[in-house]
Amino acid sequence: MQNNQTDYLLHLADTTLILSQRNSEWCGHGPILEQDIAITNISLDLLGQSRNFYQYAAQLITDSKKESGAKTPPLEGLGEVTEDSLAYLRTEREFKNLLLVELQNGDWGQTILRQFFFSQFQYLLFQQLQQSNDAQLAAIAAKAIKETTYHLRWSSEWVVRLGDGTDESHQHMLHAIDELWRYTGELFEAAEYETAMGIDLAAVKQIWTEKVTAVFDEATLPVPENSFMQPGGKKGVHTEQLGYILTELQYMQRTYPNSNW
């Protein structure tokens, strides 16, 4: 049976994997070449982060299985537990990613705003995780925060550019806020495994709100008042979009089992 540590690692891994997959859809379609390359590089950074989390989760699951002498793998349906099996052989209900990252890209403004919301959260979370008693998790966070610093700077500059740009770009950002804001509440709604791991999301929320408000002020964008927030992703309840993402992401492994590349 999975424990809270493994569940939390899968949550982190799933979230970065799905956002990487979403952002990669811009490859070859960015508004200009420089930004096409930038969003693709961010996708690769997120993919690398997900690999680190999956590898650690697989190690813990395998070690737990050996210690317990279990004859069946801790995750039903998986044979040998590896980073690939965790990514390619789990179903939608087993994924624990945030709903925010599985949403359709929309236009460039919506993709940018989603990245900004997530990068600001991830940066603050990794600051906290660097102090974790779990040495390996702390090391992953310390490495990843260097990449996240760039993701945050890049996305926040784009939010300001579009929000305080032309009337048209401003309207696109207002639409993006309408589409995405209700999914930001889940960032700070602690799942059982986050509470057990000692993650202080209340502290993250306070600073996140201050930072987002400052960028929105510079971008001449309004911060929405409190409204309904859509939860579910952390517990495996997703939008229909995740099914489409996994169909594409997992196709090769499910069609040609045990493929290696």
Question: Please, are residues 141 and 9 in contact by the beta-carbon 8 Å criterion?
Answer: no
Please report the pLDDT score of residue 1 as a whole number: 38
Q: Which of 5-14, 77-86, 187-196, 234-243 has the lowest mean pLDDT?
A: 77-86
pLDDT digits 0-9 by tens, 21-32: 999 998 888 788
Amino acid (1-letter code) at residue 190: A
Say yes or no to pLDDT of 54 above 70: yes
pTM (2 d.p.): 0.93
- The pair of structure tokens assigned to 65 is 């299985």
Please report the pLDDT score of residue 78 as a whole number: 58
Task: Please report how the helices 108-129 and 4-24 are oriented relative to each other, as an axis angle in degrees rounded to 10.
Answer: 150
Mean confidence (pLDDT) of the chain:
92
* Ordered domains of the chain (ranges, CATH): 4-255 (1.20.1260.10)
Please report the pLDDT score of residue 218 as a whole number: 98
pLDDT digits 0-9 by tens, 110-135: 999 999 999 999 999 999 999 999 99
Angle at 241 between CA 119 and CA 224, to 5 degrees: 50
pLDDT digits 0-9 by tens, 141-179: 999 999 999 999 999 999 999 999 999 999 999 999 999
pLDDT digits 0-9 by tens, 212-238: 999 999 999 999 987 789 999 999 999
- The pair of structure tokens assigned to 67 is 């210690």
Buried b (16+ CB within 10 A) or exposed e, 5-34: bbbbbbbbbbbbbbbbbbbbebeeebeeee
Which residues lie closer than 8 Å to 202 by C-beta, 6 or more apart? 188
